[in-house]
Amino acid sequence: MTDTVKNTLLFVVVFTLIIISGFFQGWNNAIFTLNMGIISAIMALGVNLQWGYAGLFNVGIMGFVALGGLAAVLVGMPATPGAFSAGGVGVVLALLLGVGTVVAAAFTYKRMPKGRNRNLVVTVILVFGFFAFRALLDPNVALIEAVNPAATGYLGGLNPYSVETYRENRWIMLIAWPVGGMFAAGAAWLIGKAALGLRSDYLAIATLGIAEIIIAIMKNEDWLSRGVKNVNALPRPVPFEVDLQSSAAFVERAAALGFDPVEGSTIFVKLLYALLFSAVLGILFWLSQRALNSPWGRMLRAIRDNEVAAEAMGKDVTARHLQVFILGSAICGIAGAMMTTLDGQLTPGTYQPLRFTFLIWVMVIVGGSGSNLGSILGGFLIWFLWVQVEPIGLFIMDIITSGMAEDSWLRAHLIDSAAQMRLMTMGVIMILVLRFSPRGLIPEK
């Protein structure tokens, strides 16, 4: 059996699994699983770029995904009337002041001769800058958050349409996706500048931290994206179900296919998303494949396999690492913006490292690190399992407990904790793959 046949078979198996779930749990669920599978596959591509190509250990994926979601809000939502004039200028000035302080401190650190004087000056700049920053930021934030706090209380986004009509501006969400990538790239540049070049587990700890900080900022800075109050009703690039249901032509076509208008419209919308997402996945996969097989890709793998030798050959290891770290994070940011678009809302409270960082790692490891096709397969397969483990667990628990008394505490406990089986299953899968098939389902060539 050649590799092509084997790989095709693997993909056929995964898609068959999704189709079977469609027969049992309804097509809406199956296509939703497919859509999230595509998004997961894109995240896995990004992580594979970092880990598989360059051996960079990034456990801050959640942060980059969340930044992508933030971009969806900042691009897709309309500006809140009156918010910018209330405190927007002040906030922008405060942020500039903050950046200026850091730049000034860094500049002083570079230019002044080493010694106690330098430390003193840098400390004074930082402390003074911090208090000035807070003094300028706080009152303006209060002003912004006072603008209709129940519904908005944040600056809003860049959607040029008005508050009433912004959802008609559908295509703006497609702009939000690359912007999400750019946000993530910016954060990756900052963290990469600081932490790349250190030992690999230090990068891991640093990225773990930056992800938590990004989530903390998104939860607490209400003027930016309403924090835990969430931003709802984002515009979307596909038509609304309600509009489809009231269109006679659509109802007729759905009836001809044997669907009632409500089910037909929801499935149709999800299929449109699936098409859009597949296009993005296709483009990113093509680009990644090209990159992998280019001289640049070969150089990265050379660096990964033997850093010292590559450096001796005149390769700039730190610069290449920074480059690939930024690119991989940007891909995660794009996926994050797509996910927020699909959800139609940004909910910072739901970002959890186990789901958004470590699950992606399971996908990459199971699929095969270093192989783009493998990452995509891992994305679909692990996402499918992640969704299905809960019903399967419940089913198994029902069988195990069927002999017990109705009111037995053990039975109630076992059935309750079936929902917790997910994490254990993912861990076991990961450990087994690492042990018995460390190169993954579709190994790197």
Q: What are the residues binding another protein (CB under 8 A)?
A: 55, 57, 59, 130, 134, 138, 194-195, 198, 200-202, 204-206, 208-210, 212-213, 216, 219-220, 352-354, 358, 361-362, 365, 416-417, 420-428, 430-431, 434-435, 438
For residue 54, the minimal CB distance to another protein (Å) is 12
* 236 vs 422 by CB, closer to another protein: 422
The Cα–Cα gap between 39 and 30 comes to 14
In total, the chain counts a number of residues equal to: 445
CB atoms within 10 A of CB 252: 10
For residue 339, the minimal CB distance to another protein (Å) is 21
Question: Side chain identity at 406, as an amino acid letter?
Answer: E
SS3 state of residue 13: helix
* 362 vs 377 by CB, closer to another protein: 362
DSSP-derived secondary structure letter, 80: P
Question: Side chain identity at 359, as an amino acid letter?
Answer: L
* 143 vs 281 by CB, closer to another protein: 143
For residue 237, the minimal CB distance to another protein (Å) is 33
Q: 274 with 263: CB under 8 angstroms?
A: no
For residue 253, the minimal CB distance to another protein (Å) is 45
* 151 vs 428 by CB, closer to another protein: 428
For residue 32, the minimal CB distance to another protein (Å) is 24
For residue 352, the minimal CB distance to another protein (Å) is 8
* 95 vs 213 by CB, closer to another protein: 213
Q: Which structure tokens are listed for 21?
A: 């779930």
82, with CB counted inside 10 A (0-12, 13-18, 19+), is: middle
Q: At what angle do helices 359-367 and 27-48 cross, to 10 degrees?
A: 80
Backbone angles phi, psi at 316, to 5 degrees: -85, 90
The Cα–Cα gap between 65 and 333 comes to 5
For residue 320, the minimal CB distance to another protein (Å) is 18
* 34 vs 360 by CB, closer to another protein: 360
* 244 vs 365 by CB, closer to another protein: 365
Q: Which structure tokens are listed for 198?
A: 């250190």
Who's near 309: CB < 8 A, 6+ residues apart?
302
For residue 423, the minimal CB distance to another protein (Å) is 4
Which residue, among 59, 66, 65, has the nearest Cα to 217 in the 3D structure?
66
* 208 vs 251 by CB, closer to another protein: 208
Kindly list the distances between the CA atom of residue 9 and the CA atoms of 23, 36, 191, in Å, as whole numbers in the listed order: 21, 21, 40
Q: Which structure tokens are listed for 372?
A: 């783009």
